[in-house]
A and B are shown apart, each in its own frame.
Chain A
């Protein structure tokens, strides 16, 4: 049997709105992935360390507060420092189009904005992770 895809779902920054993160975590689990949810108020350092220890292929960040431009580049930088370039970074939340394009240019694999279906997120992760 194939090893299931391992995903770290993380909630960075001070915001506590975790409805989206929890729904996504459940949906990925229902789709057969192994999901580790970090809980709230994780710094980029905590997130990348958890990703390393848990040996995940994907990190999903849920950000609704508008702090993505401060947080996401830092996560990318730490991933590069730790030579974890193969880990896919996926963002979900309230991210304007211009910012989404810029974050993708910097190395984010995908940005899912409000209204994105759970199915589209599952499909994307399956296609992005090499089997």
Chain B
């Protein structure tokens, strides 16, 4: 194709000029817009020495079938040099149903590991010292239940909660916006999130009680700017609720963490991460008057874009993932997940996940990019994109402020409709061939078959059998009493975490605990916006 016929835009539709130079950066004020690495506004990174001091954490999101099988995968990944764990739960767990619930049929262990009681959590981390490994858990609506199970396992291992380090995703707002794994209506859900932030500020000073996530917003089809803006505006909403609870900003803000997508448009992604740090630093300082430097620094995990992986010619996915991972590292990520080449088909097999981890190790140890912070800082193109991304995101943030905040915006369907429109536009561009997807709408060829991880119904049968045995074995009276106490606590206004911990320690199941909360809070049904 001749260049004259092609429109040059980023993947999000931002036009790209033929050449960039100093004239595009006339508005750039280095002190205001960049600073030094490790200094306000942290555009260039949150640490002076960045990866020279410490590499990013290589954290592969993983979980499937039973806790026994996933435990084996975790030990394998740790043996291969992975430096943190990240738990993927199955859909019944994410939705607060036990594996023997009617709605769990066909779903147990399919998209992640099935965990319905403290007993399952004990099995999941058997032989893994929680004082030494940081663990991230992708769990949202029932986050406080799974976190309580984790804290209870730490107790059993004799690990002081104050030494525990890790993250629960616990970002309910992006569920209403994009991923849609919600249980309760927004306001009681926000109360549960605030309970964990408050509990964490008092009891787990090194644990991130939330990972404010743009990843799923992007996967749902948003642009980079929408991902950035909606995520940061969600962050503002959590801050407002925690302040309303009576916490001081510097008590909890240092432990807010973020999670972004690493999509395919290389420079746009790097600009997004740099703009994210800058916007958040100004929001924390000027909107909230945060004093602690730690409150001002936006720390983030990145995951390469699942939605960019193709079913056709799956080996090409290794290359896509490597480029996306490179953008996350050049953008200053604190931890990273690289997708496996087989993930357009299924959860990753062991061989595929090993290649994904090796991709990070090649970047870290062979490419030389870890040698200096923000190596692309000062690029005319990147700095201009960073400024433009920041401005466009701030526009959205102002708009949502004017709507009365994120909950009001969600109830009006605003972010949902913006994302749906962007994803339709993107698909149309693929359809016309305006956007090229190698191996899909151009350069097609026959695929080489790949070996896939198969999860059959054995896991479901095993999980149901273990659950039935647990229900017989446990002290039923104690479990019932703790569930009653939790209901009363949910009806009141106090922190629910101590009551959830009691229920978990009594081996009440996730379904029973979520049913207790459903009976008080009700269940959420969205108005669908096409």
Contact surface of A with B, Cβ cutoff 8 Å: 13-19, 22-23, 25-27, 29, 37, 39-41, 43, 65-71, 94, 96, 113-115, 117-119
11 A-B residue pairs with Cβ-Cβ distance under 8 Å, sorted by A, are: A14-B91, A15-B111, A16-B179, A23-B423, A23-B424, A23-B427, A39-B525, A43-B103, A67-B91, A69-B106, A114-B311
Residues of B within 8 A of A (CB-CB), count: 43
Residue of B179, B420, B528 with highest tally of chain A CB at under 10 A: B528
- B92 touching A14 by the CB < 8 A rule? yes
- A13 touching B107 by the CB < 8 A rule? yes
In the complex, chain A residues whose CB is within 8 Å of the CB of B528:
37, 39-40
Q: Given contacts A23-B427, A39-B528, is CB(A70)–CB(B106) below 8 Å? A: yes
Q: Given contacts A25-B530, A26-B424, A37-B530, is CB(A66)–CB(B179) below 8 Å? A: no
In the complex, chain B residues whose CB is within 8 Å of the CB of A15:
91, 107, 111
In the complex, chain A residues whose CB is within 8 Å of the CB of B430:
117
Query: At the interface, is chain B mostly helix, strand, loop or mixed?
Result: loop
B362 contacts chain A at the CB level, 8 A cutoff: no
In the complex, chain A residues whose CB is within 8 Å of the CB of B530:
22, 25-26, 29, 37
A14 to B109, CA, bound (A): 13
- A67 touching B110 by the CB < 8 A rule? yes
Contact with A along B88-105 (1 / 0, CB 8 A): 000110110100000111
Residue of A nearest to B220 (CB): A19
In the complex, chain B residues whose CB is within 8 Å of the CB of A16:
175, 179-182
- B311 touching A113 by the CB < 8 A rule? yes
Within 8 A of A (CB), among B412-432: 420, 423-424, 427-428, 430-431
- A13 touching B427 by the CB < 8 A rule? no
B8 contacts chain A at the CB level, 8 A cutoff: no
- A118 touching B431 by the CB < 8 A rule? yes
Contact with A along B146-179 (1 / 0, CB 8 A): 0000000000000000000000000000010001
Assuming A37-B528, A70-B107, A115-B310, what are 12 further A-B pairs, CB within 8 angstroms?
A14-B91, A14-B107, A17-B179, A18-B180, A22-B424, A23-B423, A26-B420, A27-B424, A39-B526, A65-B111, A115-B437, A118-B427
- A65 touching B431 by the CB < 8 A rule? no
B344 contacts chain A at the CB level, 8 A cutoff: yes
Q: Given contacts A16-B181, A17-B179, is CB(A114)–CB(B106) below 8 Å? A: no
In the complex, chain B residues whose CB is within 8 Å of the CB of A69:
106
- B179 touching A19 by the CB < 8 A rule? no
Within the complex, which residue of B97, B110, B219 is in contact with A65, where a contact is CB–CB below 8 Å?
Answer: B110
Within the complex, which residue of A18, A25, A115 is in contact with B440, where a contact is CB–CB below 8 Å?
Answer: A115
In the complex, chain A residues whose CB is within 8 Å of the CB of B97:
14
Residue of A nearest to B180 (CB): A16
Contact surface of B with A, Cβ cutoff 8 Å: 91-92, 94-95, 97, 103-107, 110-111, 175, 179-182, 219-221, 307, 310-312, 344-346, 420, 423-424, 427-428, 430-431, 437, 440-441, 452, 455, 525-526, 528, 530
In the complex, chain B residues whose CB is within 8 Å of the CB of A119:
431
B67 to chain A, nearest CB (A): 18
- B526 touching A19 by the CB < 8 A rule? no
Q: Given contacts A65-B110, A65-B111, is CB(A117)–CB(B431) below 8 Å? A: yes
Q: Which 6 A-B residue pairs are closest in the complex by CB-CB distance?
A: A70-B106, A16-B180, A67-B106, A14-B91, A114-B311, A66-B110
A118 to B425, CA, bound (A): 12
Within the complex, which residue of B181, B346, B428, B441 is in contact with A66, where a contact is CB–CB below 8 Å?
Answer: B346
A78 to chain B, nearest CB (A): 15
A48 to chain B, nearest CB (A): 16
Within the complex, which residue of A19, A43, A68 is in contact with B221, where a contact is CB–CB below 8 Å?
Answer: A19
Residue of B nearest to A66 (CB): B110
B269 to chain A, nearest CB (A): 19
Residue of A nearest to B307 (CB): A19
Residue of A14, A40, A114 with highest tally of chain B CB at under 10 A: A14
A71 to B106, CA, bound (A): 8
Residue of A nearest to B313 (CB): A115
In the complex, chain B residues whose CB is within 8 Å of the CB of A66:
106-107, 110-111, 346, 455
A25 to B423, CA, bound (A): 12
Residue of A43, A69, A70 with highest tally of chain B CB at under 10 A: A70
Q: Given contacts A15-B91, A23-B427, is CB(A115)–CB(B106) below 8 Å? A: no
Residue of A nearest to B311 (CB): A114
Within the complex, which residue of B107, B344, B345, B423 is in contact with A67, where a contact is CB–CB below 8 Å?
Answer: B107
